[in-house]
Amino acid sequence: MSSYEHKKIVEEMKALDEPPSDHAAFATWLSAGAHLDFLRQNAHSDELVIYGSSECNFIHAAVVPNALLGTLNQDDLLH
């Protein structure tokens, strides 16, 4: 059975690109809280975004097993 979850993800990213016309809402949009919420939710999804870009989004992720995260120090993560 085919999964069309990726199309839903693309639509969600497009929606995040739409800046609100209201000044206060625009300031909130600039803080990217909705973008961060998208990333948090996607991290627990069956369809994980590893690389994605759109007009106002750029996602470049790495998947690391939890068992290895504890052994990494700051230098390891930066390289």
pLDDT of residue 33: 93
| Kind and range of the H or E run holding 37 | helix 33-43
As averages over each run of 10 residues, the pLDDT of the chain (79 residues) reads: 78 92 93 93 89 89 79 79
CB 32 within 8 A of CB 59: no
Going from the C-alpha of 13 to that of each of 43, 46, 52, the distances in angstroms are: 14, 16, 9
pLDDT of residue 28: 93
pLDDT of residue 2: 56
Pairing of strands 51-53, 58-60: antiparallel
CB atoms within 10 A of CB 13: 20
pLDDT of residue 20: 93
